[in-house]
Amino acid sequence: MTLKLIQFVFRLLYRLLYYELAWTYDLVSRLVSIGQWRAWQRAALPYLRGRRVLEIAHGTGDSLLDLTALGFEPMGLDLSPAMGRLTRRKLRRHGLAMPLVRARVQSLPFAAASFPSLLSTFPAEFILDPAALAECRRVLQPGGVLVWVPTAQFKGSALADRWTEFLFRLRGIKGQTPAAWLAPFTERFSAAGFVTRVERVELPRSIALVVVCEQAGGGRQ
């Protein structure tokens, strides 16, 4: 099976995981990350600003639980109705209620300067859509940040290293470091008006890459 075919299958499986097979998402994400998924998600949280946070593509709602526990006032947005149902059930189990919105990132249903922080962990390709980036800038407050986690890597294990390399190849990372792979992406964010930096967050068993995008010049609304 060629790499392109594997990547096609990978994208198809990703789509199924977010819609028809959304009920398996938590289990699959923990399996493919060898138990590191939640640590990778949480690596983004220290870089948020203010109290109001919009999580873009909230998935099954785990980060919304983390944000609430830390005293943030989160709101979730996702296009998948299956993820919305799963998240609402999870929030109810924890005695929580918060706004969940079903919408596209390219057309956010919020006023300008609504949030000091936007969060997205392991987003799909929408994160590079110029229309989506323009909407993110529009709803951010001056000096606000878009924080997202695109990938992570294991450390300290030859088997884990080979698994990391395989996952990177599926996402088009070949023969270069994850930071180098991110360079064209950060350039696109810069072109959209963000000041972007990549943080390497050292965890006990892995390294999460966190991209912090701040509005240049305090933000243009």
Question: What are 80-139's pLDDT values in tens digits?
Answer: 999 999 999 999 999 998 999 999 999 999 999 999 999 999 888 888 899 999 999 999
Q: Where are the domains of the chain?
A: 3-218
The pLDDT of residue 14 is above 70: no
In the chain, % helix, strand, coil (3-state, to 5) comes to 45, 25, 30
Q: Which pLDDT belongs to residue 55?
A: 98
Q: Which amino acid is at 203?
A: L
What's the rounded mean pLDDT across residues 177-203?
Answer: 81
- Dihedral sign for Cα atoms in the order 22, 174, 165, 178: negative
Distance, CA of 41 to CA of 43 (rounded, Å): 5
Top-confidence residue, 184 or 205: 205
**Band of pLDDT at residue 64, cut at 50, 70 and 90:** very high
In this structure, are residues 92 and 26 in contact, taking their beta carbons and an 8 Å threshold? no
Q: Whole-model pTM? A: 0.83
pLDDT-wise least confident of 77-86, 172-181, 204-213: 172-181
Q: Which pLDDT belongs to residue 3?
A: 45
Residue range 153-174, pLDDT digits in tens: 887 655 455 555 555 554 544 4
Q: Give the residue among 4, 60, 66 at the shortest CA–CA distance from 30.
A: 60
Distance, CA of 144 to CA of 105 (rounded, Å): 17
**Band of pLDDT at residue 4, cut at 50, 70 and 90:** low
Reading the block at residue 157, the tokens are: 């294990």
Q: 3-18 and 158-170 are packed helices; what angle lies between their axes, rounded to 10 degrees? A: 90
The contacts found for 203-207 with CB under 8 angstroms, 24 or more apart, are 203/36, 203/39, 203/40, 203/43, 205/34, 205/36, 205/154, 205/155, 205/156, 205/160, 206/36, 206/39, 206/40, 206/152, 206/153, 206/154, 206/155, 206/160, 207/152, 207/153, 207/155
Top-confidence residue, 32 or 108: 108
By percentage, how much of the chain surpasses pLDDT 70?
77
Instruction: State phi, psi for 121 to the nearest 5 degrees.
Output: -115, 125
Q: Which pLDDT belongs to residue 210?
A: 94
Q: 3-218, which class in CATH?
A: alpha beta
**Mean pLDDT (the chain, rounded):** 83
Q: Which pLDDT belongs to residue 42?
A: 97
Which ranges of 171-217 would DSSP assign to H, the alpha helix? 178-191
The pLDDT of residue 29 is above 70: yes
The pLDDT of residue 6 is above 60: no
**Band of pLDDT at residue 13, cut at 50, 70 and 90:** low
The pLDDT of residue 141 is above 50: yes
The pLDDT of residue 35 is above 90: no
